[in-house]
Structure formats: C-alpha cells, structure tokens
Chains A and B, each alone.
Chain A
Amino acid sequence: GENVEQHPSTLSVQEGDSAVIKCTYSDSASNYFPWYKQELGKRPQLIIDIRSNVGEKKDQRIAVTLNKTAKHFSLHITETQPEDSAVYFCAAKKAAGNKLTFGGGTRVLVKP
C-alpha cells in the first residue's frame, strides 16, 4: 500500500521567516496530495491541495510544490505568523484508490 513519510517532525521558526515541510510517497500512481492544519485542541482542516497534473499551487502565503519524478511534495509557508503554529499533515491518494494515507505530521512553532 501507499506509504507517506513527512519531515521534519518538529520545526521552529522565527516570525517572518519561511517554513518548509517535505513529504515523500511510495506509490507512483498517487495523484491527489492535500495538506491539513490542526491547531491545538482542534480538528484538522484542509489548507491547500494539489493534483498530479499541476507542479505548483499557491494561496496567499502558502504554496505546495509537487515533484512526481522524485515522488515528493512540499508545503511552503512564507512570512510566518504566530497563528501558523500548528501541526501540519500531508496526505496522498492513489488514482484508483479510495482513501488518503497521511504522513506523521509536523509540529510547527512560530516564535514571536
């Protein structure tokens, strides 16, 4: 089955700096890659997703890049703010599959 690895597991950045989280996936047939943000004590919520026919997608300070050849995708947060502090999860889904496989999560702390 699909395996998704996420790095780093924790990330501490200074407010205003950029944060990058990287995920690798095992199944080359995967074609959908969402990112979820989970604030402390809250439920995960989708922040951005990308499909395999696109190499990059941006939404304000958040961007995701996909490298299908290397089977990895990354989340980039620019100009980080304290409210970006949360756990971030990547996930992948195979084209013919019915379920998402999640990475282990990255705890991001933005220091003021």
Chain B
Amino acid sequence: DADVTQTPRNRITKTGKRIMLECSQTKGHDRMYWYRQDPGLGLRLIYYSFDVKDINKGEISDGYSVSRQAQAKFSLSLESAIPNQTALYFCATSVASNTEAFFGQGTRLTVV
C-alpha cells in the first residue's frame, strides 16, 4: 500500500545538537507538510511544500528548517535543538489543501 514513512520513530538528543527527521512517501502527492503535536495544542504546522522548488513557513517555523530533496522526500532539521522542541512530529501529504491529509507514523523527539 502507498504510505508515508518517517525515520527515526524515536530519538533522544542533547541540547545544541543538530538533528534531521526524514519523511518519504509513495503516494505520489506533490504536497508535503511537517506538523508538531503537543498535548492540548493540537497539530501545528511547521513548514509545507507544494513541489521541490516551493517551501513555505507555517505557524511555528522558528528554530526549524526543511529540505525537499525530491517529490517523495521532505526532511525537517533542528539546527540547534532545545528542550522545548521535545514533541511528537508528523509528516503528512495530500493531493490538495482541501483533500485528505495522510500522516506518517510520527517521530517522538526528546531533547535533553
């Protein structure tokens, strides 16, 4: 089945380290998104991309950067991780903004 895959699934890193979260998809969708999930705050958009040449900031992009290496790959980087970036991160894809978003399994990141 076509899917959205995130790696790693869990990661513990130290404050100040650079870390990359990866997302790949076999759904053939152009639109890809990175969300952050915190208890009580829902899903907040970090960055989104509509094709390999299109990158857009979301609600909470400070402290994050992204790279769209191919239609199927969208990576999220934390240049210098800090403890309040501890969260569950989801990648998602969609055909269009007003159609179903398909989420990856999530990456649980802990910054100590």
Contacts and interface: CB of A to CB of B under 8 A. Distances in A.
Given A9-B40, A51-B98, A97-B97, A44 B45 contact: no
Interface of A, helix, strand, loop or mixed by DSSP: strand
Contact of A49 (B97, B100, B104): B100
Interface string B24-62: 000000000101000011111100101000001011000
A104 B106 contact: no
Contact of A99 (B48, B90, B103): B48
Interface residues of B, number: 22
Contacts of A103: 42
Contacts of A32: 97-98
Interface of B: 33, 35, 40-45, 48, 50, 56, 58-59, 90, 97-98, 100-101, 103-106
